[in-house]
């Protein structure tokens, strides 16, 4: 059969099928087209949820999926060297320490160093690499809590258990932040690195005459008062939203903070027979500077020593003098 005849025969067959209503394939094709048209039409119909809600939900799902993929991806973290049975038996051995009554594991954090725990409770020989188990344990726990790998039931129970813990209180955005202690503030004023301290910072901090020590302690005392007030406000505002254990913890924190404030208060001077005590002269900025120098130039006569220290005081930078002047002003 020639190409012309084949073409003519094909055209005739197509016209015949069209006239008869078309074959099964053409009907299926039309149904697919109609289905696509209906889908497009359905997308344009308004839904009960707003566009913003859909965007937010999609964003949340995307973030969760992205986090899960990042946690489970082998390229994002070093693979643990331990096989599943090895890690299972290791964890079981650690739990046996508590069963023997040697230690209460519920009072320890999950990031506790196994090397320190096993130092007091030896149960492995030197051939066991504890650091390798420590690294693998971190990965195993991270994978065990990936939302895409656990059931919704387990995830819900985990969140419910954590919601009742004391630690959950710290996560609340309105929970007041504990103030830095006086020593940390002093280290910041002196520019010292607490992680690379050579003992000199601690020695300098013992000098109660140093204006930087005075300033650090005064700031800490004020911030502690604010912290106590915010603690009470937080408890009063959220009592109905907290569990009993969390409320008890807050009462304990308030009590301990109040006790530490009262212990640090200087003893009140006693008055005898109604006789008014002479008012003590408040130190000036230069007096505070002299105190910070301790016994320096003590070999000189009093007047010469004051004159020498006065010259040094006048040569201080504006920032350094501001420290002494601000402390002196706060004592007024």
Q: C-alpha angle with apex 149: 148 to 154, nearest 5 degrees?
A: 100
Q: What DSSP character marks residue 235? A: H
Separation CA 91–CA 112 (nearest Å)? 13
Domain of residue 321, residue span: 285-330
Torsion of CA 48, 54, 57, 61, to 10 degrees: 130
Distance separating alpha carbons of residues 309 and 303, to the nearest angstrom: 10
Q: Give a yes or no: residue 105 inside a domain.
A: yes
Residue 129 φ/ψ, nearest 5 degrees: -85, 95
pLDDT at 316: 79
311 part of a folded domain: yes
Which of 101, 119, 144 is the C-terminal boundary of a domain? 144
| Residue 54 belongs to some domain of the structure | no
99 part of a folded domain: yes
The per-residue DSSP string of 263-319 comes to: HHSPPPPP--TTPPPPPPPPP-HHHHHHHHTTTTTTTS-HHHHHHHHHHHHHTS-HH
> Does residue 129 form part of some domain?
yes
Question: How many other C-beta atoms are found inside a 10 Å radius of the C-beta of residue 92?
Answer: 9
Which residues have CB under 8 Å from 54's CB, separation 6+?
A: 47
Of the candidates 138, 127, 126, which has an alpha carbon nearest to the alpha carbon of residue 80?
138
Helix residue spans in 100-151 (DSSP H): 114-120, 130-144
**pLDDT value at position 180?**
87
- 84-99 and 130-144 helices, crossing angle to 10°: 100
Predicted TM-score of the model (pTM): 0.50
The count of structural domains within the chain is: 3
Q: What pLDDT is stored for residue 232 in this prediction?
A: 95
Q: What is the pLDDT of residue 198?
A: 58
* Residue 202 in domain: no
The confidence score (pLDDT) of residue 330 equals: 59
Mean pLDDT by 10 residues, the chain (332 residues): 44 45 44 40 43 48 52 50 87 87 83 84 82 90 91 93 88 90 86 66 84 91 94 94 93 91 59 52 75 76 82 76 67 55
Does residue 40 lie in a domain region?
no
- For position 171, what pLDDT does the model report? 86
**pLDDT attached to residue 75:** 43
Written as six digits, the tokens of 306 are 């004051």
- pLDDT, residue 277, reads 55
């Amino acid at each position: 059969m020639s190409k012309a005849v084949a073409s003519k025969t094909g055209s005739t067959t197509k016209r015949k099928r069209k006239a008869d209503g078309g074959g099964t394939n053409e009907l299926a094709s039309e149904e697919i087209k109609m289905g696509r048209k209906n889908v497009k039409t359905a997308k344009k119909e308004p839904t009960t949820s707003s566009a913003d809600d859909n965007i937010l939900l999609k964003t949340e799902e995307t973030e969760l999926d992205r986090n899960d993929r990042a946690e489970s991806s082998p390229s994002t973290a070093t693979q643990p060297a331990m096989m599943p049975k090895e890690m299972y038996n290791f964890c079981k051995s650690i739990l046996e320490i508590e069963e023997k009554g040697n230690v209460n594991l519920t009072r320890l954090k999950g990031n506790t160093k196994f090397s320190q725990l096993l130092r007091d409770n030896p149960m492995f020989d030197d051939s066991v690499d504890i650091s390798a188990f420590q690294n693998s344990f971190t990965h195993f726990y991270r994978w065990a809590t990936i939302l895409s790998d656990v059931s919704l039931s387990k995830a819900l129970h985990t969140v419910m258990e954590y919601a009742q813990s004391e630690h959950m209180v710290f996560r609340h955005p309105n929970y007041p932040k504990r103030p830095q202690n006086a020593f940390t503030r002093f280290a910041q004023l002196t520019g010292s690195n607490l992680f690379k301290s050579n003992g000199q910072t601690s020695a300098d901090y013992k000098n109660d005459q140093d204006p930087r020590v005075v300033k650090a302690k005064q700031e800490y005392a004020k911030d502690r008062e604010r912290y106590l007030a915010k603690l009470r406000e937080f408890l009063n505002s959220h009592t109905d939203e907290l569990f009993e254990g969390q409320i008890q913890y807050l009462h304990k924190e308030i009590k301990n903070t109040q006790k530490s404030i009262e212990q640090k208060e200087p003893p009140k001077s006693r008055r005898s027979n109604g006789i008014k005590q002479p008012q003590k002269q408040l130190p000036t900025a230069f007096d505070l500077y002299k105190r910070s120098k301790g016994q320096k130039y003590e070999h000189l006569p009093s007047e010469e020593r004051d004159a020498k220290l006065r010259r040094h005081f006048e040569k201080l930078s504006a920032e350094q003098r501001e420290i002494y002047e601000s402390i002196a002003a706060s004592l007024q």
